[in-house]
Amino acid sequence: MAAHPEAPEQTSSAYPGNSPEMPAGGWSGIARDWSSDKDAFKQVPWGKAMMWIFLLSDTFIFTCFLTGYMSVRMTTTVAWPNPSEVFALTIAGHQIPLVLIAIMTFVLISSSGTMAMAVNFAYRHDRRKTAALMLATAAFGVTFVGMQAFEWSKLIGEGVRPWGNPMGAAQFGASFFMITGFHGLHVSVGVLYLSIVALKVWRGDYERSGNYQNVEIAGLYWHFVDLVWVFIFAFFYLW
């Protein structure tokens, strides 16, 4: 009989945790995969997957807010204020309805365009244009929040409060400050987020690794914020 070849000697690298190609187990393995941006769900990096999960949870929150707003508005027995009158501005002696809201919407939609171009230039490894476009997007966000602060101060000056409203239904103030305030918080966080990523792009932090996925992930967050505003604009200001 022919002698069987000797079995290859097993080394410690064959055991999980010791081989560089085998994932480490436990919490330390999860932390190591997360920090190294390992791919999850086939070709989706951890960072992008976590952002999508966060945006999904945020979608539920905004959906609850808008659903609650519609329920309150349809069931209240007191007349609901007319948005065209409440959010009108007097310019040169003429009252123009929703002019400020229209400008705010235009600013936020324009910021989606600059963010999309930033992602495009990021994957071309054009650091200067990417950083400049991200900072332009952040500037649009600051402009939006500034106009929202003006809108808040105007309504507060007219007596609108979260617990009362001299123009009609008392729930109007609570709905307005809760929904627009929560969205404004998202825009403010997004401005800070984009500024930090833009700084890292400018310094060349992503150029060393050749991975600009963080720019795309920041873009996902910003596009979500813009999309939510479209629904707020339609349900709160046009209805």
CATH number of the domain bearing residue 62: 1.20.120.80
How large is the average pLDDT for residues 202-219? 87
| Other beta carbons less than 10 A from residue 92's beta carbon | 5
Number of domains in the chain: 1
Confidence of residue 27 (pLDDT cuts 50, 70, 90): confident
Which residues on neighbouring strands pair with residue 39, listed in sequence order? 45
Q: Residue 223: inside a domain, yes or no?
A: yes
What average pLDDT does the structure give for the chain?
Answer: 86
pLDDT for residue 206: 85
In-domain check, residue 50: yes
Is the pLDDT assigned to residue 1 strictly greater than 70? no
Whole-number Å distance between alpha carbons of 164 and 197: 41
Helix residue ranges, H only, the chain: 26-35, 46-75, 83-86, 99-122, 127-157, 171-203, 205-209, 213-232
Report how far residue 76's alpha carbon sits from residue 84's, in angstroms, rounded to the nearest whole number: 19
Residue 7 covered by a domain = no
Predicted structure pTM score: 0.81
- Domain that residue 165 falls in: 31-237
Share of the chain above pLDDT 70, in %: 83
156 band by pLDDT with thresholds 50, 70 and 90: very high
Q: Is 99 exposed, middle or buried (0-12, 13-18, 19+ CB in 10 A)?
A: middle
Q: Is the pLDDT of residue 25 over 80?
A: no
pLDDT, tens only, 46-75: 888 899 999 999 999 999 999 999 999 999
Q: Is residue 13 part of a domain?
A: no
Answer whether residue 19 is part of any domain: no
Proportion of the chain above pLDDT 90, given as a percent: 61
In a domain, 181, yes or no: yes
So what's the pLDDT on residue 35?
58
Q: What is the spatial distance between Cα 14 and Cα 1, in angstroms, rounded to a whole number?
A: 31
Q: CA–CA separation, 16 vs 161, rounded Å?
A: 61
pLDDT score recorded for residue 55: 96
> pLDDT digits over 98-127, tens only?
999 999 999 999 999 999 999 999 999 999
The per-residue pLDDT for 210 is 72
Kindly state the average pLDDT of the residues 206-229. 91
Q: Is 165 part of any domain? A: yes
Helix pair angle (99-122, 127-157), 10° resolution:
160
> What's CA 21's distance to the chain center, in Å?
35
Q: Residue 226: which pLDDT band, with cuts at 50, 70 and 90?
A: very high
Residue 9 lies inside a defined structural domain of this protein = no
pLDDT higher than threshold 70 for residue 4? no
Copy the structure tokens of residue 165. 């409203």
Q: How confident is the model at residue 164 (pLDDT cuts 50, 70, 90)?
A: confident
Position 34 scores a pLDDT of: 58
Q: What is the pLDDT of residue 15?
A: 36
Q: What's residue 184's pLDDT?
A: 97
pLDDT value of residue 211 = 79
Residue 143 to residue 108: CA distance in whole angstroms: 9
